[in-house]
């Protein structure tokens, strides 16, 4: 008859067997760890309840004039799609303008839809400038369905911020957050009216900060679902504070593809404060056209790292010229702020009050110089042009083959330069580097060129086995060209 094993003996033996591997692992110096407990997904309901009442729907109306030819097929574009066409640069199909009783202006027609949020209890509302641009009438609908005709206090196309005012009081308003505390990976939500679906809530995370998209402001990138109609609505952090204004999306199809951009609220508030005070935005300018500094150029001229803004040209009689800035200078600091990339400079300069003096540091021919400039004001009709960067021209490569002549006094006066030589013919490495006939060589390896004899002397002393960096003027712009020897 088989022997029965007592339960206690079995459990004792099993425990010893299970403990053996753990003891062995411990003997080898490894300590077993407990798995990291997964964090629960956030609950957004308190945020929506807290912030939702301060988010508004914005409808715009325009009163089109009668089409002169009176032609056109019947039908109209749904108002939810109008903002879609305008925002993403798509042509708006021709729409027949309805005739008024006397053949004059037609009745107001829906133009577009967007979002916004209440800044203060007395009826100030913030939204995007493109939401209200060109509108004859702006209608704000509150969360409680009350409607108000709004007046536009001011609109700034450059930052895409607009400030509206409605005649109401005691409104729920939104709290302003600190963008500097915002972290990549942090949860955020958007509330708005995509396709006129009011009070729609979407959520995601901050994908990047200070994203340079070519616009005037560095934008917050998120993966929050943003669609036409969300424009102007708030981007909200987990503390219930607005940290941005949802403004753009990146898309190949016209719809949401996982990349959205928001205007940082600190920048938007600076614009809003000026709009509220004066109805317009005043920005500083110094009168330079700039480009990026490449790694090759930075190393070849002794700058070290690729940073700063390369001055391609200086406006005649402008603030920078009066301060002593020259084409080829690299602006590395402005008002104590480091210029890491060329896009930083227009933003920093714009924040300086026009008429005030500002300090700047430039790198010129191997040395740093401190200059003082009196900042001028960006003129409204040239606001877009003055701060936009030229398309970066990539330095090209290869070693000398330049036939040059001295500049005449008349040429120097015309070009407003003191020295340099004119390229009459180019061959070999210089030609491959991109230098052309008619270019003016201003310096070689940080040595300023005064005349042809000195140019030939500098070239003769250059190490033929190493790349030569030439500062070249073409038209009104200058750029560094690296001429590399043939290998």
Per-position DSSP letters for 405-473, written without gaps between them: EEPPHHHHHHHT-S--EEEEEE-HHHHHTT--TT-EEEEETTEEP-SHHHHHHHHHHS-TTS-EEEEEE
Active site (annotated) includes residue 272: no
- Which residues does 370 contact at the CB level (< 8 Å), separation at least 6? 359, 360, 361
Handedness of CA 365, 369, 373, 378 (dihedral sign): positive
Q: Which of 115, 156, 160, 399 is catalytic?
A: 160
- Tell how strand 55-62 and strand 137-141 pair up: antiparallel
DSSP SS3 for 111: strand
Nearest to 441 by CA among 481, 413, 476: 481
Beta bridge partners of 423: 404
Alpha carbon separation from 30 to 17, 19, 23, 280, 454 (Å, rounded): 19, 14, 10, 67, 72
Catalytic, 251? Answer no
User: What is the Cα–Cα distance from 284 to 345, expressed in whole angstroms?
Assistant: 11
In whole angstroms, give the CA distance from residue 108 to residue 98.
Answer: 9
Report which of 299, 395, 289, 284 is spatially closest to residue 334, judged by C-alpha positions.
284
What does the DSSP assignment read for 296-365?
HHHHHTT--SS-SEEEEEE-TTSHHHHHT--TT-EEEEETTEE--STTHHHHHHHTSPTT-EEEEEEEET
What whole-number distance in Å separates Cα of residue 55 and Cα of residue 240? 12
Is 282 among the residues known to form the active site?
Answer: no
The residue annotated as part of the active site, out of 155, 193, 231, 247, is: 231
Catalytic site positions: 130, 160, 231
């Amino acid at each position: 008859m088989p022997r029965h094993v007592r339960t206690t003996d079995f459990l004792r033996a099993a425990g010893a067997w299970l403990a053996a591997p753990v003891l062995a692992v411990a003997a080898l110096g490894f300590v077993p760890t407990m798995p990291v407990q997964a964090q629960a997904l956030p609950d957004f309901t308190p945020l929506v309840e807290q912030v939702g009442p301060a988010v508004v729907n914005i409808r715009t109306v325009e009163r089109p004039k009668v089409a002169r030819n009176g032609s056109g097929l019947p039908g109209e574009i749904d108002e939810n799609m109008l903002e879609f066409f305008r925002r993403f640069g798509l042509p708006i199909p021709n729409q027949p303008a309805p005739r008024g009783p006397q053949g004059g202006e037609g009745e107001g027609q829906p133009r577009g839809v967007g979002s916004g949020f209440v800044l203060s209890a007395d009826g100030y509302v913030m939204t995007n400038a493109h939401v209200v641009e060109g509108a004859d009438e702006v209608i704000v609908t509150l969360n409680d369905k009350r409607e108000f005709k709004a007046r536009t206090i001011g609109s700034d196309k450059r930052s895409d911020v607009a400030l509206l005012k409605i005649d109401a009081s005691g409104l729920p308003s939104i709290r302003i957050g600190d963008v500097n505390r915002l972290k990549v990976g942090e949860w955020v939500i958007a509330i708005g009216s995509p396709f006129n679906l009011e009070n729609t809530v979407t959520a995601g995370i901050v994908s990047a900060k200070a994203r340079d998209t070519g616009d005037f402001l560095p934008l917050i990138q998120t993966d929050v679902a943003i669609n036409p109609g969300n424009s102007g609505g708030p981007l909200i952090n987990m503390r219930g504070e607005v940290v941005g204004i949802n403004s753009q999306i990146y898309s190949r199809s016209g719809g949401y593809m996982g990349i959205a951009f928001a205007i940082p609220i600190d920048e938007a508030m600076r614009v809003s404060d000026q709009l509220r005070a004066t109805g317009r935005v005043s920005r500083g300018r110094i009168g330079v056209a700039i480009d990026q500094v490449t790694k090759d150029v930075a190393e070849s001229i002794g700058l070290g790292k690729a940073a700063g803004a390369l001055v391609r040209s200086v406006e005649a009689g402008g603030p920078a010229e009066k301060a002593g800035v020259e084409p080829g200078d690299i602006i590395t600091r402005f008002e104590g702020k480091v210029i890491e990339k060329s896009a930083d400079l227009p933003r920093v300069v714009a924040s300086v009050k026009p008429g005030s003096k500002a300090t700047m540091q430039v790198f010129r021919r191997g040395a740093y110089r401190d200059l003082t400039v009196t900042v001028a004001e960006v003129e409204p009709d040239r606001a877009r042009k003055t701060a936009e960067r030229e398309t970066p021209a990539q330095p090209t490569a290869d070693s000398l083959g330049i036939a040059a002549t001295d500049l005449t006094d008349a040429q120097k006066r015309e070009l407003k330069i003191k020295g340099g030589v004119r390229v009459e013919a180019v061959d070999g490495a210089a030609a491959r580097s991109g230098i052309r006939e008619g270019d003016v060589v201003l310096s070689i390896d940080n040595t300023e060129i005064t005349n042809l004899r000195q140019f030939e002397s500098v070239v003769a002393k250059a190490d033929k086995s190493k790349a030569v960096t030439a500062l070249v003027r073409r038209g009104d712009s200058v750029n560094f060209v690296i001429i590399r020897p043939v290998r």
